[in-house]
Amino acid sequence: MSKTGLLSLIWDGENLEMLDQRLLPSEIKYSKKTTVQEIWESIRSLEVRGAPAIGIAAAYGFYFAAREAPDTDFESFWKYLKEKSDYLASSRPTAVNLFWALERMEKKVLESKHLPISEIKRLVKEEAEAIHREDEEICRKIGEYGLTLLRDGVGILTHCNAGQLATARYGTATAPIYLAHEKGWKVRVFADETRPVNQGSRLTALELMQAGIDVTLICDNMAAMVMSKGWVDAVIVGCDRVAANGDTANKIGTLGLSILAKYYGIPFYVAAPTPTIDLGTKTGKDIPIEERNPNEVTCSFGRKTAPEGVKVYNPAFDVTPAENITAFITEKGIIYPPFEENIRDVINC
Ligand code: MRU
């Protein structure tokens, strides 16, 4: 699988170089993050976005907190860290990778409490690095499993950006596409623009083009037309949180696509790293859905595109019911229905 392309996060051993995804595709700008506050703001503002990348950034944010925490005694150290961890957790509500990463970091600290604080700080850094490294491995395996569902000449529709930019490398929904391309297969990708923030046009179209993959950009309301023409053999999307029963939160618009795919008899796959599967969330109804600033809807093309004062509803995610999902592509294999028990088996194995 290709090792090239833009990376959203680059760790230099002590600080995090972060690509400002808000500026893409016009400008490629990295900036150094060294504090918890900077990480919180970057997650909140979508400078870094995509469930796995948010989790990785938060893990490094936790390390920044540990680095500056008082080291007089464990109680003061832990109190400071827990406060910062809770603060990082307040940056966005839907992608469970944020909470998963912070919980994993907290667990590392608590199980090392008998060690000198300087040693705990070292372990915290290693844990953040492990989360970063493991995400790359997870994505590569999702690519390998996902490839078994594709064939030469396949047409794929994807939504939002579940690509390299949203992860450590390779992406989730894009990983099988990169692998198929590398094999020399012809793959035709339709990328939904993904209003209101346009992750599809700004990010997915960019990274697939940079990789030399045949990508066609469509507005979200063109997906039905493209499917009706028989150009889509599979829909592959990413996810922000998969509930225990398989209901899945992903970028707003995913639910509509799943309904269309069902109507047209097109397989609907969710590329799901296991850290995005949350057995603690029973069903889609229990997934908190982020609502974002109305400006995202009323301002496009750098100017106002709606009348001043208009009422706006701007949920950033929707929930696709499990019954609309053909299968989950995870790093541990492909999960088919019945989801409730098969997801549990895969997570617990
Ligand atoms: O609001 P965003 O850009 O963070 O939303 C991202 C998505 O919905 C992605 O599809 C999801 O996080 C999966 S990324 C591998």
Angstrom CA distances, 230 to 151, 174, 257, 262, 269, stand at 16, 21, 15, 13, 17
- Among residues 96, 113, 137, which one ends one of the domains? 137
d(CA 175, CA 271): 9
Pair 251, 312 in one domain = yes
Distant-in-sequence contacts of 183-188, Cβ < 8 A, 24+ apart: 183/147, 185/150, 185/151, 185/152, 185/153, 185/154, 186/152, 186/153, 186/154, 186/214, 187/150, 187/154, 187/155, 187/156, 187/213, 187/214, 188/154, 188/155, 188/156, 188/214, 188/216, 188/231
The answer to whether position 314 is within a domain reads yes
The answer to whether position 4 is within a domain reads no
Pocket of ligand 1 (CB under 6 A): 49-52, 95, 160, 162, 166-167, 172, 199, 238-240, 250-251, 316
Contact 150, 180 (CB under 8 A): yes
The answer to whether position 220 is within a domain reads yes
The answer to whether position 144 is within a domain reads no
Q: How far is the CA of 99 from the centre of ligand 1 (A)?
A: 15
Pair 167, 262 in one domain = yes
- Among residues 81, 109, 137, which one ends one of the domains? 137
Asked if the ipTM is above 0.90, the reply is: yes
Tell me the CATH number at 252. 3.40.50.10470
Pair 217, 289 in one domain = yes
Pair 297, 320 in one domain = yes
Whether 240 sits among the annotated catalytic residues: the reply is: yes
Tell me the CATH number at 71. 1.20.120.420
Ligand-binding site membership of 251 (annotated): yes
Pair 102, 199 in one domain = no
Ligand-binding site membership of 92 (annotated): yes
Q: How far is the CA of 52 from the centre of ligand 1 (A)?
A: 8
Q: What angle do CA 261, 243, 198 make, to 5 degrees?
A: 55
Ligand-binding site membership of 202 (annotated): no
pLDDT string in tens for the chain (349-residue length): 656 899 999 999 999 999 999 999 999 999 999 999 999 999 999 999 999 999 999 999 999 999 999 999 999 999 999 999 999 999 999 999 999 999 999 999 999 999 999 999 999 999 999 999 999 999 999 999 999 999 999 999 999 999 999 999 999 999 999 999 999 999 999 999 999 999 999 999 999 999 999 999 999 999 999 999 999 999 999 999 999 999 999 999 999 999 999 999 999 999 999 999 999 999 999 999 999 999 999 998 779 999 999 999 999 999 999 999 999 999 999 999 999 999 999 999 8
Pair 125, 239 in one domain = no
Query: Considering 240, 247, 278, 318, which one is annotated as catalytic?
Result: 240
- Among residues 137, 164, 193, which one ends one of the domains? 137
Number of folded domains in the chain?
2
The answer to whether position 48 is within a domain reads yes
Pair 33, 165 in one domain = no
Nearest CA to ligand 1 atom 8: 251
